[in-house]
Amino acid sequence: MKCSYLSSSSTPCWMDKGSNAWMMVAAILAGLATMPGLLLLYSGIARKKWAVNTAFLTLYAFTASLICWVTICHNLAFGSHLLPFWGTPGPVLYTKFLLSRSHHPATHQDLDFPSATMVAFQFGFAANSVAIVSSAVSARITFQAWAVFVPLWLIFSYTVGASSIWSGGFLSRWGVLDFAGGYVVHLSAGVSGAVLAHWVGPRHPVDRARYPPNNVMLVLGGAGLVWMGWIGFAGGSAFLSPQQASLAVVNTNIAAATSLLVWTSLDVLYHGQPSVLGAVQGLMTGLVAISPAAGLVEAWASMCIGLCSGSLPWLTRLCHQKTTAKFCEEVDDTAGAVHTHGIAALIGGLLTGFFAHPRLTALVSSVSGSKGVIFGNFQLVLKQLAAALLVILWNVAVTTLICVVVKRLMKLRMSDDQLRIGDDAVHGEEAYAVWEDGEKTTL
């Protein structure tokens, strides 16, 4: 019997209520990782006079991403291919599509929940990506420039990565693996954040010299929401296998915990004391590094990934802080997105090429025989490396072009007075009703 997308029954014959319920929960968790997870984390890390600006950049990124997603970006990322790396643009605002049966982005197998659920779930990844970029340029980019940058970056950067790697594009057909957004989200956002930071320029010298967090407890609360929200990203990405979803959740937690402990241990050994902000950074690098591998590796391998993600980004961040190279001086990445997201994602993507299990990769990839180095296949790690280089080069080029265009239309950088004063000058608001840092009125 033919099953209509909108039948007299409340539930189509192809829908599994349990699967749809889980995917809706996963979509909500993924959204919470950004709103309010990253919003609280980033605004808590910011200096008090920039807390409002930092939060507002994330808020705008989330809301603007949603409108872009349903009007053009979803189909660019997951629609029928216009190019090997891009879908056909168009809105997803019609009932016939939203209530129709969803399909696996890479293998195109039928799924047992509606397309509306998939649209909501995949939106969480897109919004998270732009929020990460915002963390690199807070405290100096103009809101007007950011308002224009967000849709342009989503259209010309994010959707290309999603279509190429997740939606049967040329990298997907080549056998590149990215289970839950290591390359598509974090490598892209980390690289683009660093490029945008270069074009906008550094923070005010006073802020760059001393940028204490205004609320460490807010940072911890935001980090907790991000961690729990990441379960939605990882578990929801196993569209065809409940067992793989469970494994992805366990692996995510193992890698995050391992990475946090390693980063904290290195802080104690090098600085002589544990740091809450360092622990949060270790947590973030663990979550990012396990993303491409979450449902594709065994649990012991996720611990290995956590060991690397807690140590290598720690080292690159330390080197960045200590170096006097001109390029590093010019790239003032406020929240260190290039390390916590870019470097960590690169590590996770390459280690996926080492540890990917053939039984697990068969569930998400249409390429047969996809497995890691430990299973006798050395080609996958080379493919992962090549894909990473392509993602990096594409985001450098696209972000640079967007900055050139936006700079011709408006100012990228705030005025000196705004940089000196902060939120009160930029928004006419302050995070705390206490006179001091950033107050325009003088006594």
Asked if residue 435 belongs to a domain, the reply is no
Asked if residue 428 belongs to a domain, the reply is no
Asked if residue 10 belongs to a domain, the reply is no
CA gap 311, 259 in Å, rounded = 8
Q: Strand pairing partners for 141? A: 413
Burial label for 143, CB within 10 Å (0-12, 13-18, 19+), is: middle
- Which ranges of 323-440 does DSSP label H, i.e. alpha helix? 326-330, 337, 344-355, 358-361, 379-409, 416-421, 423-426
Number of H helices, E strands in the chain: 22, 4
Residues 6 or more apart whose CB falls under 8 angstroms from that of 36 comprise 222, 225
Please list the pLDDT of the chain residue by residue as tens digits (443 residues).
456 555 545 778 888 888 999 999 999 999 999 999 999 999 999 999 999 999 999 999 999 999 999 999 999 999 888 888 999 999 999 999 999 999 887 777 888 899 999 999 999 999 999 999 999 999 999 999 999 999 999 999 999 999 999 998 999 999 999 999 999 999 999 999 999 999 999 999 998 888 999 999 999 999 999 999 999 999 999 987 888 999 999 999 999 999 999 999 999 999 999 999 999 999 999 999 999 999 999 999 999 999 999 999 999 988 887 776 666 667 888 888 999 999 999 999 999 999 999 999 988 887 877 899 999 889 999 999 999 999 999 999 999 999 999 999 999 999 999 999 999 999 988 888 765 554 554 33
Find tokens 């290591």 and name the residue. Answer: 182
Structural domain total, the chain: 1
Residues 6 or more apart whose CB falls under 8 angstroms from that of 95 comprise 6
Asked if residue 438 belongs to a domain, the reply is no
Asked if residue 392 belongs to a domain, the reply is yes
Asked if residue 433 belongs to a domain, the reply is no
pTM (global) more than 0.95 = no
Give the residue numbers spanning the domain of 52.
Answer: 17-421
CB atoms closer than 10 angstroms to residue 232: 25
Backbone angles phi, psi at 82, to 5 degrees: -85, -35
CA gap 195, 331 in Å, rounded = 8
Residues 6 or more apart whose CB falls under 8 angstroms from that of 46 comprise 53, 54, 138, 139, 211, 213, 214, 334
Burial 185-224 (b: 16+ CB within 10 A, else e): bbbbbbbbbbbbbbbbbbbbeebeeebebbbeebbbbbbe
- Specify the CATH number for the domain of residue 360: 1.10.3430.10
Asked if residue 440 belongs to a domain, the reply is no
Say whether 22 sits in a helix, a strand or coil: helix
H or E element, residue 84: none
Asked if residue 429 belongs to a domain, the reply is no
Contact indicator for 30, 228 with CB cutoff of 8 Å: no
